[in-house]
Every structure is written in structure tokens, then in C-alpha cells.
Amino acid sequence: MWRYCRLFAIVTAFVLLLTACGGAGAEIEDELPPVSDEQLSPEESDVQFVPDKSAVTPEPDAQTVPDTTPEPDAELVPDTTPEPDAESVPNTTPEPDAESVPNTTPEPDAQTVPDTESDTASEPDDEAHLSGGLSPEVNIVGEGIHIGQLSYDVRPDSCTVYVSENGVYVPFLVLTADYGGNTLLLRRDVLPDAQAFNTYSAAYPDSAIDRYLNSEYVQTLDAVRPLIQSADIVVTAPDALGVSGDAVQTIEREIFLLSCTETGFTNLVNAGKEGNTLSYFADPAHRTASRENGTAVSWWLRTPDTYYLSAAYGIGADGSLGSGNAYNENGIRPAFRVPSDADAFPTTDIVQGQTVYFLSA
């Protein structure tokens, strides 16, 4: 009997002990907060990004050129490629009778096509000749003058000469008569289409814009091509990019962009000295450029921002200097040299009501 009582007491004590432990465990569980998703996955704002000097999109620099990506304006070039007048070629499509004899001697209607086309081509020229602009064949109304005598150094109030570009006379500024011994011309307005500097690298030699100017664009200058003199221009060395370098080298080009140094922006931390400052740009107002309709736009220089690998300098619509991604599209102002003794002639046929000078080989 004593043994049964003792066993009962042990069992009872064990049950009481288990009950006490269970209660304590419940209290511990109540004190632990549930695990949240935030504790398992850190917030994105905790991740630290290290700025990269070779970043393709330098945000601070992009703010300095508010208009670094002007879209091409189709309205700017309504007449550069005159379309044939459909009304003036009524018989270019053969009648059903001609279809039955496709390879025989041309019918009288077919013979009129060449004359019709020549008439169509001459009509825009005649109209432009009167209103001032599209035909390179203009009347000379006085004696010629050496192009060097029209330079800003000599005639600061009238340093413009007209050059035929794809058969259209456009104004160029005669910046100086001594750019490596020749006269330097700069397109007054940007080209109708904005273009990228390059696809990535901001090194000027063999960039997309360098290739375009010396392959496609130079072909538009047939009327003065024999006069164009290749120039030794100073450019930033490609290995200076991405390290804030200022090393430069010399390349030879027919057509080129101006540099930061040449446009009056000197002593830059992230740019090499490319040439010498031109006196024309001593006036900050001369740094602005526009489309043919007068809208001010930003335009590329040939100088890379060497803090980055893919940023080049340009001048904003307000005349200030900034840098932007090389793949951005900005205005293009081609420059080239001609002999200082090349003749420019006066005419009243290019700008209605004015006597202006034009250059022709």
C-alpha cells in the first residue's frame, strides 16, 4: 500500500511539473515579436552605390546643358531637297497602249518625259533665284574681294560669306584669316538635323560626327570643295578620357568641329588645351547658335569631358558651356579652311534686297 501511495505522489508531482513548464513556454512565446518581411529583406535604400567616373549618364553635367537633346525639326528643311512637282509631269505613267509594247521604240509621250523633268528641275531654281537662295548660279554685281578681307579680324560688323551647300546658299562666318595660315569658316546656323557625337566614346578622332563631316557632309560642298584646305587640328588624346587627363594630339581633317579653347572656354579641369582662342568668341553673345528659323539650340564642340569616358562638351542655347552624353543629339556647326586669297564676289541674288558676298571655286 505504501508503495502505491508513493508512486501516486511521484506521478502527481510529474504532472504538476509538466503543467508548470507548459505555462512558462507560453509566456516566452508571447514575449517574442513576429518576424516581418522587412527583417528578412533589407530595404533598397540601405544599398550603397559608388559613383563611377566612367558613368554613361553623368547627372550633374547633364543639368548644365538643358537643351542637350534637341530633336531634329523637319520644318527646318522644307526646301533642301525639292520634290518634283507632280502636276508638271502628267505623262510619266504610260497609257494602257504602251503596256502592250513595253520594249519597243518609245512612243511620242515617252519622248516628252526628259523635257518635262528638266522643266520641273528648273522651276524651283528660277523661283529661288528671285527670292534669294537655291541656285549657285548668281549674278556678280561688283568686284571680288579676298575672303581674308571679310574675316572678323578685319570686318567685325560684316564677316559673313555665302557658300553653296547641296545647291543652297547658306551663310558662313569668316572667323579669322589666320587659322594655320588660311581663313577659317564656320557655319552660322546649325545643320538642319541634330546629331549624336558618337555611340559611346567621347574621343573625337574617328567618332561618328568626325566620320560624317569628312565623308557625307563634305560632299555637299562641291562648289567650294577645290578650295577646302586640310587643317592640322589639336584634339584631346583618347587615353585622357576617364582619368581627367589633358593630353592632346594633332590630326588632319578637312571638316571639323571647334573646341572649348577656340570658343573661349579655357583652363578647364577636365579638358585639354585644343588650339587657341578665336577673337570672335571673346564676346559671349557670339557663342550662341540657332536653327535657320532663329530658334536657339545647343551645339557640339569636339572637346571631351575627360572626367568621363562618354561625355563631350557643348554650348547651350544660352551660350553657357556644359557636357552631355556622347549619344545625345545636338546641333552641328561644321568648320573648314580656305585660302585667304580666294575670291568672294558680291551679288544681290542670294538675299533679296541685300548685296552679300558668296564664295565659289
What's the whole-number mean pLDDT along residues 323-342? 98
Q: In the chain, pLDDT over 90 holds for what percent of residues?
A: 61
Residue 126, amino acid: D
Predicted pLDDT at 335: 98
Residue 87 or 207, more confident: 207
CA-to-CA dists, residue 265 to 199, 270, 276, 281, 302, angstroms: 25, 12, 10, 9, 13
Q: What is the pLDDT of residue 272?
A: 95
Is the pLDDT assigned to residue 114 strictly greater than 50? Answer: no
**pLDDT-based confidence at 262, cuts 50/70/90?**
very high
Rg of the Cα atoms in the chain: 36
Three-class DSSP category at 7:
helix
The whole-angstrom separation of Cα 270 and Cα 267 is: 9
**pLDDT class of 137 with cuts at 50, 70, 90:** confident
Contact 233, 258 (CB under 8 A): no
Segment 234-259 shows an average pLDDT of 98
Q: Taking Cα atoms as reference points, which of 147, 98, 95, 77 lies closest to residue 342?
A: 147
The region of weakest confidence among 85-89, 285-289, 336-340 is 85-89
pLDDT digits (tens, 9 = 90+) for 17-58: 555 445 444 443 333 333 333 333 333 323 222 233 333 334
**What pLDDT sits at residue 71?**
41
Pairing of strands 335-338, 182-187: antiparallel
Least trusted range by pLDDT, from 18-22, 158-162, 241-245: 18-22
Predicted pLDDT of residue 232: 98
Q: What is the pLDDT of residue 361?
A: 84
Q: What is the pLDDT of residue 216?
A: 98
CA angle 263, 300, 262 (to 5 degrees): 15
- Find the mean pLDDT for residues 266-291: 96
SS3 195: strand
Mean local confidence (pLDDT), 52-68: 38
At 139 the pLDDT is 94
pLDDT of residue 10: 67
Per residue in 189-213, pLDDT (tens digit) is: 999 999 999 999 999 999 999 999 9
Strands, E assignment, 35-104: none
Which band of pLDDT confidence, cut at 50, 70 and 90, is reported for residue 16? low
